[in-house]
Chains A and B, each alone.
Chain A
Amino acid sequence: MEIINNDTALIWKALEEVKDPEVPVLSIIDLGIVRNVVVSDEELIVTITPTYTGCPAMDMIATDIKLLLAGRGFKKVTIQNILSPAWTTDWMSEEGKQKLKEYGIAPPQPRQQICNNDLFAPNEAIPCPRCNSYHTRRISEFGSTACKALYQCNDCKEPFDYFKCH
């Protein structure tokens, strides 16, 4: 059906209204977790992939997508979860990274930099989202949510979250 096919772009656009409940400045499009949108006569299938396996936000995101699309007149919406290829922070949009920084969370660095498995490797230099100083230190590799590490700026002294590369 012609009209519905044309709607795919509009659906992608509408999905920008669904936010990550844990980082509400980011839409699920910014995060890069919407992998596919398929419309047929009978149903609309939205394929998403989790950021982290245990991320409790995924159930809520699935519900939010269904609610939003129901409001746009789609009666049958199916959310499909896929695991492969595994999500990476490289899929986060540049716009999303900018939003994160403005929100006070240091955006993920490109992947090659951190995927260093050496033990006691020096902490990656993460610029402070407030004053841009690289003079920062890692307080904890694991932070308030699975996707974040905890840092502190040595110059402005502010602690901040780093959305870690994954």
Chain B
Amino acid sequence: MKEIISYTLYLADTNLILSQRNGEWCGHGPILEQDIAMTNITLDLLGQARNFYQYAATLIGNGATEDSLAYLRTEREFKNCLLAEQPNGDWGQTILRQFFISQYQFLLYNSLINCKDEQLSAIAEKGLKEVTYHLRWSSEWVIRLGDGTEESHRRMTNALEALWTYTGEFFIPAAYEQFLIDNGTIPSQDELKLTYQENINSILKRANLNPPSGSFMQKGGKTGIHTEHLGPLLAELQYMQRTYPGAEW
């Protein structure tokens, strides 16, 4: 039971933290239509986070709610992948982060639809329809910017340098994840990893971008070991509930 709770929280936290980051763009997008696109995606991610938190809360019991899970856990208890918490940087870096995560979620949700846990399967089925839009939108932007002007190409190259080492963590299973793979609750990630790399490389190629050559990949987020960026993000996200416990509107 504790494994499925941890895994559900990993999925929930990744969506919540990315939505919080993306939400920082609200009112600051480069043009109105893309500002709206970004906030729409953010809302989808937040909705998916809520579904996962609600499910985790029923598994945990003991008075846990989606709110207590989102607002009252500490940094070391958050299990989101490190990529989600990385700062927005410029528009190119935000787009690239979204693309890497959407590509992962697209493959992951597709595989979870057939997993043995009914509720995870239902959330994945619902989320997949939204992620499909996110993936298409972010892929187009990666190509548009990478294969755009000298300036946009330079920025995308920098973004790739900044984010690349965070793209391996998806496929390095945490102990709770490996447990669920071994007992057949969720599918193995090996096949997903290959498809992921193929898809990423094909879009980067169309974008005229070369993935960095090093093979070192960061990890830790899934088990609560985060970069220096998560703490300040949580301080802002949880401020209200920490300052006025139980506040509602």
A-B contact pairs, 10 of them (CB 8 A): A52-B47, A54-B43, A54-B45, A83-B122, A85-B125, A140-B36, A141-B133, A143-B40, A146-B40, A146-B44
Question: Which residues of B lie under 8 Å from residue A85 when comparing CB positions?
Answer: 125
Question: By DSSP majority rule, is chain B's interface helix, strand, loop, or mixed?
Answer: helix
In this complex, how many residues of chain B approach chain A with their Cβ under 8 Å: the count is 30
- Tell me the residues in window 135-163 of chain A with beta carbons closer than 8 Å to chain B beta carbons: 139-144, 146, 150
Contact A86 B44 (CB under 8 A): no
CB of B94, distance to nearest CB on chain A (Å): 15
Report which of A55, A140, A143 forms a contact with B47, defined as CB distance below 8 A. Answer: A55
Provide the residues of chain A in CB contact with B204, threshold 8 Å: none
Answer whether A54 and B44 are a contact pair too, CB < 8 Å, given A86-B129, A166-B129.
yes
Q: In chain A, what residue has the closest Cβ to B47?
A: A54
If A54-B43, A54-B46, A142-B37 touch, whether A83 touches B140 (CB-CB below 8 Å) is no
Question: In angstroms, how far is the closest chain A Cβ from the Cβ of B51?
Answer: 6
Report whether B139 and A119 are in contact in the complex, using a CB–CB cutoff of 8 Å.
yes
Answer whether residue B73 sits at the interface, using C-beta atoms and an 8 A cutoff: no
Q: Which residue of A lies closest to B41 (CB)?
A: A142
**Which residues of B pack against A, CB within 8 Å?**
33-34, 36-37, 40-41, 43-48, 50-51, 121-123, 125-127, 129-130, 132-133, 135-137, 139-140, 143
Give how many A residues have a beta carbon under 8 Å from the other chain's beta carbons.
Answer: 25
> A87 to chain B: which residues have CB within 8 Å?
126
List 7 extra interface pairs beyond A50-B47, A119-B143, A142-B37, CB under 8 A. A54-B50, A82-B122, A83-B123, A86-B129, A117-B132, A142-B36, A142-B137
B44→A119 contact, CB < 8 A: no
Asked if A98 is at the interface of the complex by the 8 Å CB criterion, the answer is: no
In angstroms, Cα B48 to Cα A52, docked, is 10
| CA A115 to CA B129, docked complex, whole Å | 10
Look across to chain B and name the residue whose beta carbon is closest to the beta carbon of A115.
Answer: B132
Q: Tell which of A84, A139, A144 has the most Cβ of chain B within 10 Å.
A: A84
Whether, in the assembled complex, A132 has its beta carbon less than 8 Å from a beta carbon of chain B, the answer is: no
**For B46, what are the chain A residues with a Cβ–Cβ distance below 8 Å?**
54
Question: Do B130 and A52 touch (CB < 8 A)?
Answer: yes
Whether the Cβ atoms of B44 and A53 lie closer than 8 Å is yes
Question: In the complex, what's the smallest C-beta–C-beta distance from B56 to chain A, in angstroms?
Answer: 15
Across the interface, name the chain B residue whose C-beta is closest to A140: B33
Which of B40, B126, B139, B143 lies in contact with A142, CB distance below 8 A? B40
Closest B residue, CB atoms, query A144: B36
Given contacts A84-B122, A142-B36, whether A117 and B51 have CB atoms under 8 Å apart is no
B48 adjacent to A53 (CB under 8 Å): yes
CB neighbours (8 Å) of A56 from chain B are: 43
Instruction: Find the B residue at minimum CB distance from A139.
Output: B33
* B47 CB to nearest A CB, Å: 3
